């Protein structure tokens, strides 16, 4: 359920680089500079072996872990936080904000993979490769990056779990190695992409959305560029989700009639706890 944009400061920083080597990907060039604070550079050709298969995926316990988070800023009603994991150069980021809609209205937008490109930042392709369960699936996402940076893609294992007693739904995702979508020449397969959406109903018409992202986009991108770009993703994702929920209100009546008790639906079995 993720697409993220490699945009903003990334392109200008890369274009200003005037020393060091470069790696070309199908006409795209990603520079590395000897002064950039990197301890390692991940090659796109190693992406298949480097993908992180998280099975089982992120647990609710991991999602609820509040230790070590640092508040960075609050903008447009979205609080953005980060946390540096041991042995990592780039922090994990999360954003928390309110959406004026019911939990099932927000879930309906997340569930509609065909429209992910409408609102997820720089997402140019999103498709289901394999439907595993009612909400669980293996997906392919491609993210556009402005020249000279190569596009990124990932195969994701996406699941959904919930607890109506806690009035929340957790939708974790993680990159996996999969033959369902082989690597594409000129596109960098991201070595690590994991995170989650957590939807918490504060009342029948409002939902608190938590979006968390832990990403290594691969290729020759310096850590400080990845960090400066990733820190915007939680803000962009939550605000774009807000707009999409408002824009598509009334479009998902069939979904609500099937799952939302307030619309005559039946709560999914995996949420009945």
Q: Is the peptide bond before 148 cis (omega within 30 degrees of 0)?
A: yes
Tell me the C-alpha distance between 53 and 8, whole Å.
Answer: 30
Tell me the C-alpha distance between 55 and 62, whole Å.
Answer: 14
**% of the chain with per-residue pLDDT over 90:** 61
Decide: helix, strand or coil at residue 138: strand
103 vs 32: which has the higher pLDDT: 103
Could you tell me the two tokens for 143? Answer: 């993210």
Which residue do the tokens 């290729």 mark?
219
**Angle, alpha carbons 191-106-260 (nearest 5°):** 125
Q: Domain-by-domain residue ranges, the chain?
A: 9-14+69-271
Q: Is the peptide bond before 56 cis (omega within 30 degrees of 0)?
A: yes
Q: Is the dihedral of CA 214, 218, 223, 226 positive or negative?
A: negative
Query: Would you give the DSSP letter of residue 9?
Result: H
Q: What is the mean pLDDT of the chain?
A: 80
**% of the chain with per-residue pLDDT over 70:** 73
Estimate the crossing angle of helix 9-16 against helix 223-230, to 10 degrees: 160
Decide: helix, strand or coil at residue 198: strand
* Helix, strand, coil abundance in the chain, percent, nearest 5: 25, 35, 40
pLDDT at 11 over 60: no
> What is the pTM assigned to this prediction?
0.78
pLDDT per residue as tens digits for the range 69-118: 999 999 999 999 999 888 887 889 999 999 999 999 999 999 999 999 99
34 vs 234: which has the higher pLDDT: 234
pLDDT in the model for residue 95: 97
Could you tell me the two tokens for 132? Answer: 């595993």
189 vs 66: which has the higher pLDDT: 189
Fold adopted by 9-14+69-271: Alpha-D-Glucose-1,6-Bisphosphate; Chain A, domain 4 (3.30.530)
198 neighbors 162 (Cβ within 8 angstroms):
no
Give the residue among 152, 132, 131, 134 at the shortest CA–CA distance from 217: 152
**Angle, alpha carbons 136-140-146 (nearest 5°):** 140
| 226: Cβ contacts below 8 Å, ≥ 6 apart | 90, 215, 216, 217
CA 71 to chain CA centroid, nearest Å: 19
Residue 182's CB: how many other CB atoms inside 10 A?
10
């Amino acid at each position: 359920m993720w697409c993220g944009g490699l945009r903003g400061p990334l392109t200008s920083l890369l274009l200003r680089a005037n020393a060091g080597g470069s790696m070309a990907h199908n006409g795209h060039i990603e520079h590395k500079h000897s002064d950039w604070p990197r301890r390692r550079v991940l090659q796109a050709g190693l992406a298949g072996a480097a993908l992180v298969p998280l099975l089982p995926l992120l647990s609710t316990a991991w999602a609820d872990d509040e230790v070590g988070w640092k508040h960075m800023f609050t903008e447009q009603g979205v609080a953005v936080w980060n946390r540096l994991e041991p042995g990592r150069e780039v922090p994990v980021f999360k954003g928390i904000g309110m959406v004026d809609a019911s939990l099932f209205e927000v879930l309906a937008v997340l569930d509609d993979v065909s429209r992910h490109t409408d609102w997820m930042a720089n997402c140019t392709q999103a498709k289901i490769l394999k439907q595993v369960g009612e909400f669980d699936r293996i997906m392919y996402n491609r993210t556009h990056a402005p020249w000279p940076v190569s596009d990124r893609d990932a195969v994701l294992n996406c699941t959904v779990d919930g607890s109506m007693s806690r009035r929340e739904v957790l939708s974790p995702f993680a990159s996996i190695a999969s033959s369902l979508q082989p690597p594409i020449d000129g596109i960098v397969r991201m070595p690590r992409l994991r995170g989650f959406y957590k939807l918490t109903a504060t009342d029948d018409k409002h939902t608190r959305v938590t979006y968390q992202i832990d990403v290594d986009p691969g290729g020759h991108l310096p850590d400080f560029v990845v960090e400066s770009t990733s820190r915007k993703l939680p803000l962009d994702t939550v605000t774009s989700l807000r707009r999409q929920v408002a824009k598509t209100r009334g479009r998902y009546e069939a979904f609500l009639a099937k799952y939302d008790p307030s619309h005559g639906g039946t709560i999914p079995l995996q949420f009945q706890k």
